[in-house]
Amino acid sequence: MTSKTMSLLKLTVNNHPGVLSHVCGLFARRSYNLEAVMVRPVAGSTLPRSRMWLLVNEEQRLQQLIRQTEKLVDVISVERHELAGSVFEQTEEFFV
Amino acid sequence: MPDSALDPESRTQQLTGAQLLIRLLERQGVTHIAGIPGGANLPMYDALTSSSIKHVLARHEQGAGFIAQGMARASGAAQVCFASSGPGASNLITAVADAKLDSVPLIAITGQVPQAMIGTDAFQEIDTFGLMLPITKHNWMVRSAQALLEVIPQAFEIALSDRPGPVSIDIPKDVQNELITVDTLPEPGKALPCPVLEEAHVEAMLTRIWQAQRPILMIGGGIIYADASQALIEFAEKLDIPVVQTFMGLGVLPSDHPLSLGMLGMHGARYTNLVLEECDLVVGLGVRFDDRATGRVAEFCPKATIIHVDIDHSEIDKIIPSALAIRADVGEVLHTANFMLEANVRPVWRNRVDQLKQSYPLILDGENELFRPYGAIKTIASLLDDSVNITTDVGQHQMWVAQAYPINRPRQWASSGGLGTMGFGLPAAIGMALAQPERKVICFSGDGSLMMNLQELATAAEQDLDIKVVILNNQHLGLVRQQQTLFYESNLSAVKFHAKVDFAKAAEAMGLKGIDLGIVDSPLDELKNALLQPGPWVINLPICETEMVYPMVAPGGANRDMICGASA
Ligand SMILES: Cc1ncc(C[n+]2csc(CCOP(=O)(O)OP(=O)(O)O)c2C)c(N)n1
């Protein structure tokens, strides 16, 4: 599933209704290739936070994509992450 | 509204969500709200009658949005428009999208059907949240009166911070009616401080500028929004660097400033675009390298390296990779630089620029004839002073004004740059006149564009504002006609208005004064009279449909490949 051009992003976001629309809407309107999304509330956090994992297929525009994502008000942080052992690899059996 | 609700003595107050909203807007310093009421925002309008805020009843929600934009563009403060749910909200969309592309702090507040009915295809229900999402900096659906205490100040903070822009707040009717007990009201939202500037970056910028032989400053709307025009002028003068302005940056430098090269890009003067061919350094200050400015990006300033200063991180390296980028408030960068720099002169480069200016000047064909585009604009400018504000619609007339009207101070100029919205000019002029009643506003329009929000003439008459709408009337969608002439072998398609509209009479029908300069004996005297008398006027000025905006770079073409008229 994960070719060389893929990158994995780890987002911490406010757990609001609408935050998923803000993130996915941004990717759609700037035509960034989003391969997979996984999102759940952050366990044990005192604040209403969610963790969002994004698998993106954008080598050239990755920095631009990250900066645009960081501008979203409900996005608290964006980090690049190792592909190996990612949540997407571990859940592959659910997507056959 | 019960009086006790607003009793300043009692700290604890019971308010409806709508009353709370209006209180919070008052505390933000809002003096005018443009809008239209309807079923889903009735509680807001009910609360508005006991407020100090003056409501401006527009005739279409797009008009309301642009009136608020006009106020925001003139003042720099965030401004509010109201609409009801469904068609009210969808009618606002264009004005909100326009504010996004031109970075205008607009706060669109809409009513929504009660929460219990959301998702049922209720009467006048649309997904306002979903529609506003891609065209705002941020948007909310407010789910409780309590949430307003957080959302309203945050909305102003977001609209004004960093790069300004629009926000939208959708409030279901049950939230507007919900009773809430409030102890203390939150502090008004305001712009957050910009990220800390590292002086080393400014030093690096100055070093590159010292090393350059043929530098150019490219300045845009960011300078105006940062209130940095004076700092920019000082910077340019001390370093002796010529300045090109984007469409949004017009007014930063007085048009006759010796370092000003006017507007660059698609309709820039030939010398302006040719100077950019030769420069070896471009310092982009508060610009976003829009395609109308750069032309074909791969061929923009072929010999230059780029320095980019902007508050919006995502603009840096978006279009053109920069050799040095500073993400900061451009005003702070300029102030810091002015403090650090050593003054310089560049006689060789300045000579070369002057040479190009003399060899390839901006030709304003017909500038001495009243019934030619440049002549009309120059005549009007000669009858007025720099105190007037200028708006335009979209088309040839907009570009003629951008080229020829002496825009001499920041925020004197309001025009739809990024979205290019026909119908912008009149309601924006109303907004500018409301924000600055001491200034006359001239709205240059076309017979196509004015029709898009003609109904707002009634609003202008009702408010009795000192607005002059000047129609450069060519009986055509002129700019489209121009493109078909140049790029589609004059195959003119759907650009002529066969039915002639008597705009002077239309104005009179809506309570303004109107004059058609084409049918009077002494048009110049009549023009002067209409411009100088206070109050709203529509001035029809017929021009020939074959008039063109030159120079022109073909969309997608390189800036050096300018198409010029016969007289060039
Ligand atoms: C809302 C909208 N619809 C369509 C266009 C496309 N368009 C750009 S310029 C233009 C013609 C404008 O005609 P007019 O207002 O008469 O100005 P002129 O070019 O004749 O000066 C059109 C249709 C637009 N910019 N905005």
Which chain A positions have a beta carbon within 8 Å of B317's beta carbon? 63-64
Model confidence over B382-421: pLDDT tens digits? 999 999 999 999 999 999 999 999 999 999 999 999 999 9
Q: B168 and B284 in contact (C-beta within 8 Å)?
A: no
Find chain B residues with C-beta within 8 A of A29's C-beta: 134
The pLDDT of residue B368 is 97
Q: Are strands B513-516 and B537-542 parallel, antiparallel or unpaired?
A: parallel
The answer to whether the CB atoms of B141 and A17 lie below 8 A apart is yes
- Minimal-distance CA residue to ligand 1 atom 3: B422
Does residue B561 form part of some domain?
Answer: no
pLDDT at B5 over 70: no
Alpha helices of B312-424 — where are they, by DSSP H? Answer: 330-340, 347-359, 373-383, 396-404
- Please indicate if any CB of chain A lies within 8 Å of the CB of B313: yes
**Which residue of chain A comes nearest to B140, CA vs CA?**
A18
State the pLDDT at residue B496: 98
With an 8 Å Cβ cutoff, is A41 touching chain B? no
Question: Residues B440-468: what's their mean pLDDT?
Answer: 98
How far, in whole angstroms, is CA A31 from its chain's centroid? 15
Cβ neighbors of B434 (< 8 A, separation 6 or more) are: B32, B56, B67, B70, B71, B463, B465
List of chain A residues with pLDDT < 70: 1-3
- Residue the block writes with tokens 């002015």: B338
Q: Band of the pLDDT at B4, cuts 50, 70, 90?
A: very low
Whether B187 maps to a domain, the answer reads: no
- Does residue B109 fall inside a structural domain? yes
Q: What stretches of chain A adopt beta strand conformation (E)?
A: 7-14, 34-41, 49-56, 75-81
Helix axis angle, B478-487 relative to B396-404, nearest 10°? 90
CATH number, domain of B314, equals: 3.40.50.1220
DSSP tag of B55: E
Q: If you write DSSP's letter for every residue of B402-421 in order, what string do you get?
A: HHHS---STTSEE---SS--
Is residue B294 predicted with pLDDT exceeding 70? yes
- Chain B positions touching A63 (Cβ under 8 A) are 317
In this predicted structure, what is the pLDDT of residue B7? 53
Q: With CB atoms and an 8 Å threshold, state whether B140 touches A64.
A: no
Query: Within this chain, do residues B382 and B355 fall inside the same structural domain, yes or no?
Result: no
B258 three-class SS? coil
Lookup: tokens for B136: 């705002």
Q: Domain residues for B220? A: 199-359
A30 chain-B contacts, CB cut-off 8 A? none
Check CB contact of B141 with chain A, cutoff 8 Å: yes
What residue type is B280 in one-letter code? Answer: D
- B70 CA → ligand 1 middle, Å: 20
> What's the B13 CA to ligand 1 centre distance in angstroms?
51
Query: The domain A7-95: what is its CATH number?
Result: 3.30.70.260
- B565 found inside a domain: no
CATH value at residue B107: 3.40.50.970
Residue B449 CA, closest ligand 1 atom number: 15
| DSSP-H helix ranges across B421-502 | 425-435, 449-452, 456-463, 478-487
Domain ranges, ordered by start, for chain A = 7-95
Record: contact A21-B129, CB cut-off 8 A: yes
pLDDT at B353 over 50: yes
- Residue B312 and residue A17: Cβ atoms within 8 Å? no
**Ligand 1 mutation pick, B394, B424, B550, max ligand atoms within 8 A of CB:** B394
Distance from CA of A18 to the nearest CA of B (A): 8
- How close is the nearest chain A Cα to the Cα of B292, in Å? 19
Question: Within an 8 Å CB–CB cutoff, is residue B308 touching chain A?
Answer: no
* Closest-approach residue (CA) in chain A for B138: A73
Residue B263 in this model has a pLDDT that exceeds 60: yes
Tens digit of pLDDT for each residue in B485-504? 999 999 999 999 999 999 99
Distance from the Cα of A93 to chain B's closest Cα (Å) equals: 33
The H or E element containing residue B469 is strand B467-473
Task: Find the B445 Cα to ligand 1 centroid distance in Å.
Answer: 10
pTM, entire model = 0.96
Q: What is the pLDDT of residues B9-39, one digit of tens each?
A: 557 899 999 999 999 999 999 999 999 999 9
Pocket lining for ligand 1, CB < 6 angstroms: B 393-397, 420-423, 446-449, 452, 472, 474, 476-480
CA dist B500 → B349, B448, B472, B483 (Å): 52, 11, 14, 23
Instruction: Say yes or no: B219 and B161 in one domain.
Output: no
Q: Per the CB < 8 Å rule, is B314 touching A64?
A: yes
B134, B137, B313 ranked by CB distance to A29: nearest: B134
Q: Residue B444: pLDDT band by 50, 70, 90 thresholds? A: very high
Last residue of a domain, one of B153, B182, B211: B182
pLDDT per residue as tens digits for the range B64-120: 999 999 999 999 999 999 999 999 999 999 999 999 999 999 999 999 999 999 999
Q: Give the distance (Å) from ligand 1 centre to CA of residue B248.
A: 19
Determine the Cα–Cα distance for residues B451 and B501; give it in Å rounded to an integer.
Answer: 10
CA B399 to centroid of ligand 1, rounded, Å: 12
Question: What is B68-132 written as a DSSP string?
Answer: HHHHHHHH-S-EEEEE-STHHHHHHHHHHHHHHHTT--EEEEEEE--GGGTTTT-TT---HHHHH
Both B161 and B261 in one domain: the answer is no
Same domain, B460 and B513: yes
* Cβ pair A25:B133 closer than 8 A: yes
Together in a domain, B245 and B206: yes
Distance from CA of A44 to the nearest CA of B (A): 24
Q: Do A22 and B312 touch (CB under 8 A)?
A: no
For chain A, say whether B350 makes contact (Cβ under 8 Å). no
* Chain B nearest CA to A90, separation (Å): 33
| Minimum-distance ligand 1 atom for the alpha carbon of B393 | 15
CB distance B141–A25 less than 8 Å?
no
Question: Across the interface, do A21 and B130 touch by the CB < 8 Å criterion?
Answer: yes
Tell me: pLDDT of B3 over 50. Answer: no
Domain boundary at B359, B394, B412, which?
B359
Q: Which residues of A touch B313 (CB under 8 A)?
A: 67, 70-71
Return residues 476-515 of B near A (CB < 8 Å): none
Question: Cβ contacts (< 8 Å) between A17 and chain B: which residues?
Answer: 141, 143
Asked if the model's pLDDT at residue B2 lies above 50, the reply is no
Chain B residue with CA closest to A64: the answer is B314
Distance CA B93, CA B90 (A): 5
Task: Tell me, yes or no, whether B76 and B209 share the same domain.
Answer: no
Q: Which of A14, A73, A76 to mutate to test the interface with B (most CBs of B within 10 A)?
A: A73
Distance between CA atoms of B390 and B45, rounded to whole angstroms?
A: 32
B449 CA from centroid of ligand 1 (Å): 6
Tell me the chain A residues in contact with residue B133 when contact means C-beta distances shorter than 8 Å: 18, 21-22, 25
Q: Are residues B525 and B451 in the same domain?
A: yes
Number of domains in chain B: 3
ipTM of the complex: 0.92
